[in-house]
Each structure stands twice: as structure tokens, then as C-alpha cells.
A and B are shown apart, each in its own frame.
Chain A
Amino acid sequence: MIDSIFIGVLALQGAFAEHSASLQRLELDRNIDVILVRTPGDLSECDALIIPGGESTTIALLARLAGLLDPLKEFVKSKPVWGTCAGAILLSESIVGAKKGGQELLGGTSVKIARNGWGSQVESFEVPLSLSDVGDTSRPFRGFFIRAPVVLDLSSPSQSGQYPPITIVARIPPSLLPPSLIESNNVVSEDDPRTIVALRQGRHLLTTFHPELTEDNRFHEYFMRNCVLAGGMGKDHKPSTATTATFG
């Protein structure tokens, strides 16, 4: 029997069912078993974890109430984790726009992120994204941005060396950034960190949009191949300089 690989999907709140369905559609040479993670016992069986979109405040609270917060913090230190939308917020080192009184994060990447960068639901949008580092970059990916967060910064200088290098997988055009984030008269350059919507840092993947809501499996495959099955942290691809920012 071929060894199964156990991929957890954090199922406390949010779009976990779609991630599970996307994973089950993948055709890899390893068998994927999806575990819906609701308790520390579920988590202990997982080789890797996906944290879905939802409300980051709710997910963090439910994680604490379920006794999952500390096990999750330990998990992100050693195992591959992918966060979409709210999940990306939880994997960040620091956030802007936390609820009053602050909220808990898991950390795991050096990224600083702003919650709900675009405003209310009616500002949600979809845009075709061109990808890099992903297997098939010839066609765009449909990005759904739903009350999406915005990456503010990739790392602070004091952290250099603590984190593996970052590979940028997708950006949006600067013109799509929320006006509230852009200082007046400032032209945002193409390589501004705020235009980043998908990035990989070592074995962690962050996407501020929702690949699980399409039938396009490229991100799930990318996570499996480059984060989960790739093994070590150092096996980065050699993407073109235009799409890569390396820190540390």
C-alpha cells in the first residue's frame, strides 16, 4: 500500500469544505487523506495544514476554546501550512486592523498584513492573475478577493536570517489597490509589497484570495509539490528576478 499523506484542513469556521474538495481532486503520485481538524487530536495526525478563509477573529477564538491554539503555533513552526484570506492573516507575524483589544495570531511567516484592506462586501472583486513559480503559468488564475487582506510588508530588517526567502507567486496591478491604502500623489510601483497576493516562504504558502472557490487546482498542486512534498526548506525554485524578492 502506498503511504498516504495526511493533509489537515482547519474546520473551525469558514470555507473548509471547498479546500477539502479541491484536495480530493488532485492527482498526485501520493494518496491524499484529508482530515477536517477540529481538535488537537485531529491536528496531531496531520503532515500539513490548510487554514481556510473565514473570519480570523472567530477562527482564533474557536482555536483557543478548542485547545488548539498552542498546538497550532507549534505546528506552523515545523510543518507546511497554507493560509487563504483569514488563514493568511493568522500566519502573519503582525497585522493592521485587528479587532479592538487585539487578536491572536499563529505567526510562522515574516509578513505584515492589513485585515480587510478593501472595505465592505460590495468592494469584493475578481481579477485574472498571472502566476509565477507555479507549474503551468501560461494561463491566468481567477482570483476572488472577498473582504481580502493586503500584504503590507514582507519582513522587518531585525528578522533577517530568521525566516527562509520569499518567493512571490502572484501580484495584482497597483491600480487595483484600495485607495485608502495609497498615500496621495504617491505612485505605487509594480514591485510594491502591497501588490502581492500570493507568496511562499519556505514551506508556508499565503494567498489573500480564494483558490479553493475555483475548479482550478494549480494552487493546491503547488502547495502539495512545493511545500508539502518538497521536504527541506532550501529547495527553492529559480524564478525570474522580476517576480522574486529575497530577504535575509
Chain B
Amino acid sequence: MESKTLHPAGLTADMTTIELMAEPLRAGGWLVSEAYAPPARRPRTRGAPPLVRRLLIASAVAYFALVVLTPLVAVFYEAFRKGAEFYLASLSEPDALAAVRLTLILALIAVPLNLVFGVAAAWAIAKFEFRGKSLLVSLIDLPFAVSPVIAGLIYVLMFGLQGWLGPWLSAHGIKVIFALPGLALATIFVTVPFVARELIPLMESQGKDEEEAALVLGASGWQTFRRVTLPNIKWGLVYGAILCNARAMGEFGAVSVVSGHIRGETNTMPLQVEILYNEYNFVAAFAVASLLALLALVTLVVKTIVEARTHEVSAR
């Protein structure tokens, strides 16, 4: 049977935990459509009268426009309030550039590490049976359920001056909190689940047959992974990586707690937005914010492309 058990939330039946915290970007998404194509739409014979239908559409679109669209438009409007020149000037401030650089560095640390973690976790969970598996899956999802503030706090308690390892670290001249390592840890924490979350159901649905076939044909473990597993999960990897990246670059609460807000040094882009805003430098704040909004839009575009792409692959 190629068919896969789905339950109404569009998830595989064996997904047991809070993974749904990550769901918005995925539930309507490609994993579901790959395994299960919704029945072909038939023209409606009956149903709501046209007037009611139009009313429903109008109110849904109005709500969407009010809640989602206006804030998005406002970001760009406010950013360009004083013209393009001021906009560009705000972005080329040294502090703004430093924030962009730091944000990129954090993403470059967090995304690859969580990619490796996601592949390892998904390999163990999807391809093998072992005791405590569902507990492990819940643990992976845990960072989604924890308030970002707490994600920052725990590292302050570990590595801060009053923390467990604080005295030892400061005696050795190592700075974790209010420095890059702390920011990296907080960023990794909040993005731990993204890739694993994407790969586990995908690899479970693909089963072990192809890997076994490769092994029977004489492939080594590494060859099997490289030539069979990796090509099969590549879109899942891309998908997980974009979501992971979006969150890594946009995280606010967790990094805010461990950052110390040192200008030009420990300010990420979202923190730079906060500082500028609190200084009533609104236009500059929105200019930096517009970059982050752009990132969000690009993320949604890539996500849509990947979804279309996987539709194509599964329809091929």
C-alpha cells in the first residue's frame, strides 16, 4: 500500500506531540499533498446561495486584510516615510550593518547545525524501532512550546555571572552571555525542531525499502545515504532549512535576554529594530524591520515554490 494513514489535521497518525506548534507553515503544505491528493473538485450542485457565498468571501478577505495585510504594508510605508534616501542611509549606518552581519553569522551557525541534527534525529527515529521513541520526538518539539524568554533565561542561568558555570568561565576569560556564543545557543535552541520536524514524517512515509534495496545491491552505508536517502529528502531539507533560517534571523525574545544590547557588537537585526524604536528613531527602525519583512516574504515564496516542486515530483 502506498497510501498513508492521515488524520484530519493532515498529519501522520504517529506524530504524537506538540509538533503542531510548527505546523502553520506546513499543515496545508507539501508533505500532506504528497501523500494524499485531495479528491478532484466537482462543480458544486448545492451549497450556500451565491449571496451568502460572496458575503463569506468578503468577510474572510476583510479579516485577513485587517489582521495580516495592514501590518505588512505599514512596515514598508513607515520605512519609506522620509524617502528612499533616508531609507538607504538608515540601512548603511554602521550599527545597522553590524546587526545584519551578526544576524547572518547566527543563521550560518544555527542552520547547518540543526540540519545535521535534523538528519541524524530523523534517521534514527524514522528508520529504526527503539524504546522511548515518542518521548524523544516530544523532546525535539519541546523548544516550540517554551516561551522564547525562557529559552534565553536558561542560558543566563547556566553561563551568566551568577550562573552555574559563570564564575569558572569569567575566571578563564570566556564570555558566553552578552556575547556571540550565548546568542548562538539561544538561536539554536529556538530552531532545534524545524528540520527534524520536517524530515521525520517524510522519511517515515518513505519507509526502508529503498535503503534495503541499495544494501542488497552491495552499496555501503554511506553510499546508501548519499545516493538513495539524501536525494529522496532533499526538498524536505530545503523546506526545513528555510523555516529554520527565517526563525534564526527573526528571533527576538530569546536573543534579547542573552544579548546585553551592546551596539555594534551583540545586536541582531530584531534587537536593532527594538533599540531604534525605543529611541523614537521610528523610520530607521522600520527600515531595518523592512529587511526582516522582506526575509519573511522571500521565505513564503521559496516555501510556495518548494511545495509546487514537490507536487510536480510526486506527479511525475
Q: Do A and B bind each other?
A: no
